[in-house]
Amino acid sequence: IPRNTPWRSCGCAPQTGTSGLLLLTDDGQLAHRLISPRHAVWKIYDAVHEGEAGEADCAAFRAGLTLRDGTVCRPAYLRPLGPGRSLVAVCEGKYHQVRRMLASRGMPVTALRRIAEGGLELGTLPMGMTRELTCGEIRLLETVDFDEAYLEKLVQKIRSML
């Protein structure tokens, strides 16, 4: 982060041990919209895990999981990409949520990368690099709605990179 960058809040930091998209902002309202589950801003992860996700796992994510410690998760999306790899979309940010959700289904995570938030995609930005968002990207974060067609578009992008 450039030394003279003013910011007062961090919008949606990835989980510890997670790489990928990290948004920093000095706009408190935007940060609240991104973080608050009430606004249902979707975060999408590329997960490498043990085992293979099946239809029962996808259905459990759609229904909303209750984790081993009693934590109740909102409905989420799980899309298998092949053995040991899946896309996961969540609209809340509980402690290590994606890792815990996959582990609860017998698929411990070995690598996790946030690839999108709202309608903003990480794209080809190299690890460790930063850039400012365009006005259009900020508007997208303020207004985008998630649907399964968007998730399927990301699935196709990821599959083309495998």
Q: CB–CB of 51/106 below 8 Å?
A: yes
* Segment 83-123, tens digit of pLDDT: 999 999 998 878 899 999 999 999 999 999 999 888 888 88
Tell me, rounded to whole angstroms, the distance of Cα 109 from its chain centroid.
14
Q: Which residues contact 140 (CB under 8 A, 6 or more apart)?
A: 118, 119, 120
Closest to 87 (Cα-Cα) out of 33, 30, 43, 131: 43
The confidence band for 30, taking pLDDT boundaries of 50, 70 and 90, is: confident
Burial-class residue 98 by CB neighbours within 10 Å (0-12, 13-18, 19+). Answer: buried
- pLDDT-wise least confident of 44-48, 49-53, 83-87, 146-150: 146-150
Grade residue 145 by pLDDT with cuts at 50, 70 and 90: low
Q: Where are the alpha helices (DSSP H) in 45-161?
A: 55-63, 97-104, 135-143, 148-161
Closest listed residue to residue 100, CA positions, set 69, 74, 58, 75: 69
Residues 130, 2: contact at Cβ < 8 Å?
yes
Contact 31, 143 (CB under 8 A): no
Task: Say if residues 148 and 77 touch (Cβ distance below 8 Å).
Answer: yes
* Radius of gyration over every alpha carbon of the chain, rounded to an integer in angstroms: 16
Structure confidence at residue 11 (pLDDT): 42
Say yes or no to pLDDT of 1 above 80. Answer: no
SS3 at position 159: helix
